Structure 1
Amino acid sequence: MRSASPPRAGSATGGKHMIYAARSVTGKRANNEDSFFVPKGGEISLAIVADGMGGHSAGNIASAIAVEAVASELKKGGPGGPAALVMNAVNHANTAVFEYASAHPECKGMGTTLVMALLFKTRFVAANVGDSRLYHYHAGKLRQVTVDHSYVAELVASGYITREEAARHPRRNLITRAIGTRACERVDIFECDWEENDALLLCSDGLYSELEDEDLVRVLKESETLDAACASLVELALASGSRDNVSVVLVENGEVR
């Protein structure tokens, strides 16, 4: 997969280039409450997807604030290793959304999921809050890196229901963690290795809720470019019945050619 006209961005350590593609559509919803980030020019190598929630456009505001807060904090850098920087950035996003909601009564209760990856030549640091996901595509196989913070995910982990039952559960959209709904929130951090030509897929639940992992793998294998893969994934989710906003970011670990 190659992007036809990819944004260029040095890695977080200033070396290897990454290839990015992204797409976000409103779908059958009245508004698009998702936000995403991919770098432009020589910015830090970073990918983010956030899925907002809250009435009166508050979800859109929450996701936009969270994405901007994470990106701006990581661009500043600071002491500590990558995992500490990522944790600090996500905590900063939580504070930013929570304080905005506290200052604007019409936005009370707003929040957002967040999934992100800070990228290096041979590894990446991922974080998530909520049920937006990050997948690692390596050697033709797809692995979900993040763990959903949702009611049904907890039921599956406890053995009460199967993954198939979770997909049809009436409370499948209930998340147990979110950015900005309280002053402090738990954040999951993942430090993973990856190789040249590997890819990461970050997405909101509007994408994966209607698709099986096999569908995602097939699109990634058959698409000639990242841009084409993004378009195909979104189109497939909508055609399969997704009633939510659909957002996807793809990143390939490889030199821009």
Structure 2
Amino acid sequence: MTPSILACEVGGCEQVNADYADHWAVQGGHFYVVCDGIGHNENTAAAVSEFCERLKGELSGGIISDETTLGDAIINAVRSLEQRRGSFAFCMTAALKLNDSLVVAHCGDCRLGFLTPKGVDWKTVDDVPHYKLHRDGVLDRDSYLKARHLVSCKIKPGVIRESLKVYSLDNPEPQCMLLCSDGFWSYVEVDLEGTPVLSMEVIDRMLPELASSASDNFSVILV
């Protein structure tokens, strides 16, 4: 399904956009991916873009329908990228949407969630040391946002399979699915508290503001 919103922008305070967002049809479903390059430089930006192109090639080769095959495709794309680029690091959240399930792949602090009448129901957990402190109420939201940039899990050369979290979710009635980097959710999360329709309006309204004034690059897909 084509996203209702797909945006990938350099923040107003950045010079290079190392975020990336893309989607494409696969056998039996559709694939969505957002990436957040760590380090705002041309090499990282090129590596993230090339990773997604190589992943597209991996996913076009056959039936990708479960956690193992999706995880293997991602690792294979990273391995082929290692041969061309000496250093890179990025966070990623991806979703393989099938008729009866949703396979999620996650590494870092990009997020995936569903818009609900009570706000966003996040289905991924930030891979940063301070997230548990925030979840347990030891750190408030502002303190967590200031401390979250030390990402403990990331896609990088030599990444091990265990760093990549891949799991399936039930995919019942159609829902609004949101994939985004931290440059997006850290700005708009508190405003996404209404119905899915209201949240979509908030997202659409805030995108131009983020593109002109955000302190970080951002990528977002809303399906």
What TM-score do the two structures reach when normalised by structure 1?
0.73
1:113 and 1:132 mapped to 2: Cα distance?
6
1:36 and 1:121 mapped to 2: Cα distance?
22
Is 1:210 the counterpart of 2:210? The answer is no
Q: Could you say what the CA RMSD is over the residues aligned between the two structures, in angstroms?
A: 2.9
Is 1:93 the counterpart of 2:77? The answer is yes
Partner residue, 2:143: 165
2:37 and 2:55 mapped to 1: Cα distance?
15
Partner residue, 2:222: 250
Q: 2:152 corresponds to which letter in structure 1?
A: T
Within-5 A mapping of 1:42-191:
44-54=29-39, 56-78=41-63, 81-102=65-86, 108=87, 110-138=88-116, 141-156=119-134, 160-169=138-147, 172-185=148-161, 186-191=163-168
Q: 2:156 corresponds to which letter in structure 1?
A: G
Is this contact kept in 2: 1:27–1:246, CA < 8 A? yes
Q: 1:204 corresponds to which letter in structure 2?
A: S
Is this contact kept in 1: 2:66–2:168, CA < 8 A? no
C-alpha displacement of 1:249: 0.5
* Equivalent position SS for 1:69: helix
What TM-score do the two structures reach when normalised by structure 2?
0.83
Structure 1 unpaired stretches of 5+: 1-17, 103-107, 252-257
2:175 and 2:186 mapped to 1: Cα distance?
23
Is this contact kept in 1: 2:7–2:221, CA < 8 A? yes
2:74 and 2:45 mapped to 1: Cα distance?
17
Render the CA deviation track for 1:25-63: whole Å, top value 9, x for unaligned: 112210111111122799950100011124641121121
Render the CA deviation track for 1:183-234: whole Å, top value 9, x for unaligned: 4251111211133330210001110112334x134484227xx7x6653342
2:31 and 2:102 mapped to 1: Cα distance?
9
| One of 203, 213, 222 as aligned partner of 2:198 | 222
* Equivalent position SS for 1:76: coil
Is this contact kept in 1: 2:105–2:167, CA < 8 A? yes
Partner residue, 2:7: 23
The structure having more radius of gyration, on CA atoms, is: 1
Partner residue, 1:197: 174
2:26 and 2:170 mapped to 1: Cα distance?
25
C-alpha displacement of 1:100: 2.6
Is this contact kept in 2: 1:95–1:184, CA < 8 A? no
Is this contact kept in 1: 2:27–2:60, CA < 8 A? no
* Equivalent position SS for 1:161: coil
Structure 2 unpaired stretches of 5+: none
1:182 and 1:159 mapped to 2: Cα distance?
34
